[in-house]
Amino acid sequence: MYVTKKGEEIFVIDGHTHFWDGSPANQRNVHGKQFIDCFFNYHTGLSPKEELWPKEKFEKYSAEDMHDDLFVKGYVDMAILQPTYLKEFYVNGFNTTEQNHKMAEAYPGRYICNGSFDPREGAKGIEYLHKLKEQYDIKGVKLYTAEWRGDSRGYKLTDTSCQEYLRWCEKLGIKNVHVHKGPTILPLNRDAFDVADIDDVATSFQNLNFIVEHCGLPRLDDFCWIATQETNVYAGLAVAIPFIHSRPAYFAHIISELLFWVGEDKILFGSDYGIWTPKWIIDKFMAFEMPKDVAAETGTSLTLESKRKILGLNAARLYDIDVAAQKQKLAPAPRQKVAAGGGWFR
C-alpha cells in the first residue's frame, strides 16, 4: 500500500511480474542465454545504479526475494504473475503457470496467476487451456506471439487457430488477454510482436479485454490509434514506465500520448519484475508531474486520481477485485516507513 504524505491510500496491483529461471542450468541452448542476457541489458540500461542486481541473482532470484521486493519494500498489495513458457529455450520453461501457482500458494492473497496458450498446439493446447481453468481458475492469459516452436518463429492473433483459442477463452470466462506487444528480445523476431493484429481481434471478441503489454513500443502511435477506437483495448506500462528515470522527457511523451488517446481508465501499471523492482518506479511515478509544455499541447495531466487508477484500480476492475475487502484482508500486516521516498508501505 502506498500512502501519500497527506495520508491518502493507494492500492497497488503490479500487473506484470514474472518468477523466472534463466540460469545456465536451465538454458537449453544458446538462445536461452541470449534471451536472459537481453533482459539483463534492459535492467542495467534503464535502472538507477543503486537498483542494479548481480547477474547471478537476475538469472534466478528466490521466491523470498520477489515477495520482499514487491510486498515489503515495493508498496505492492497484489501482483499478477504472467507466464512465459519458452520451452524451446529453457529445459523446464522460463516461467510457467505451474511454477507461478506454487508462488501463489506460498503467499495467499498476494498473487493472481494467469495462464497461457499457444495456438500451434492444436487440440492438445485447448485441453491444456481447459485444465488451467479447472485447476487454477485463471482469469487471464499471457500470450507471446513471437515465441518459437519447432520451425515456426511466431504467430498472429488473427490466425484461424488463435481465434479458436480466443473463442474458448470467451466460453471459459478467461476474459483478460495480455499480449506482449513491445520491444523485441534476442533472438525473437521483432515483426512477430507487431501490434496490428490487436485491431481485428478486439473488434471480433468484444467479451474479452486485450491488455497490450509495453503499450506497443516502439509502435506507440500504431497502438494509440487502435486503442482509442477499441473500447476493450488497454495499455500496460511495463517497459515504458522505467524511462521515468533514464529518459523522463520520453516517458512524459509516452504517458501523455496514452492519456490523450487511451485515457486514464485504460492504463495499467506493471514493473516487469524481475527486470525492475517496483519501489523506485512507484516513488518516481508518484512524484512525477507532466511538463508544462506537454500538458499544454495534449491537455493531459497526472492527478492523484489518475495515479490511483493506473497503479491499481484499473487492474482491480478487470480482475473483479473488491479493493475494500482486499485491504481488510491485508490490514494485519505492519506498516513501516520507507527509508528513501515519500511514501509508506504496508
The answer to whether residues 75 and 222 touch, using CB atoms and an 8 Å cutoff, is: no
The answer to whether residues 39 and 183 touch, using CB atoms and an 8 Å cutoff, is: no
Q: How would you classify residue 263: left for phi > 0, otherwise alpha for psi between -120 and 50, otherwise beta?
A: left
The DSSP code sequence of 288-330 is ----HHHHHHH-----HHHHHIIIIIHHHHHTT--HHHHHHHH
The answer to whether residues 135 and 124 touch, using CB atoms and an 8 Å cutoff, is: no
| pLDDT value, residue 265 | 98
- pLDDT of 340 higher than 90: no
| pLDDT value, residue 336 | 40
Beta bridge partners of 212: 179, 235
pLDDT tens for each residue of 131-189:
999 999 999 999 999 999 999 999 999 999 999 999 999 999 999 999 999 998 999 98
Q: Nearest-CA neighbor of 196 among 229, 172, 219, 228?
A: 219
CATH of 2-345, one of 3.40.50.300, 3.20.20.140, 2.70.70.10, 1.10.3720.10: 3.20.20.140
Q: How would you classify residue 254: left for phi > 0, otherwise alpha for psi between -120 and 50, otherwise beta?
A: alpha
Residue 103: HSE in the Cβ half-sphere, 13 Å Cα cutoff: 30
pTM here is: 0.94
CA 176, CA 290: separation in Å to the nearest integer?
Answer: 30
- pLDDT of 313 higher than 90: yes
Residue in the structure block whose three cell numbers are 536451465: 26
pLDDT tens for each residue of 205-260:
999 999 999 999 999 999 999 999 999 999 999 999 999 999 999 999 999 999 99
pLDDT tens for each residue of 270-305:
999 999 999 999 999 999 999 999 999 999 999 999
The answer to whether residues 214 and 276 touch, using CB atoms and an 8 Å cutoff, is: no
Confidence of residue 190 (pLDDT cuts 50, 70, 90): confident
- Domain map (residue ranges) of the chain: 2-345
The answer to whether residues 15 and 236 touch, using CB atoms and an 8 Å cutoff, is: yes
| pLDDT value, residue 331 | 78
List Cβ neighbours of 324 (8 Å cut-off, separation of 6 or more): none
| pLDDT value, residue 333 | 56
CA 19, CA 147: separation in Å to the nearest integer?
Answer: 18
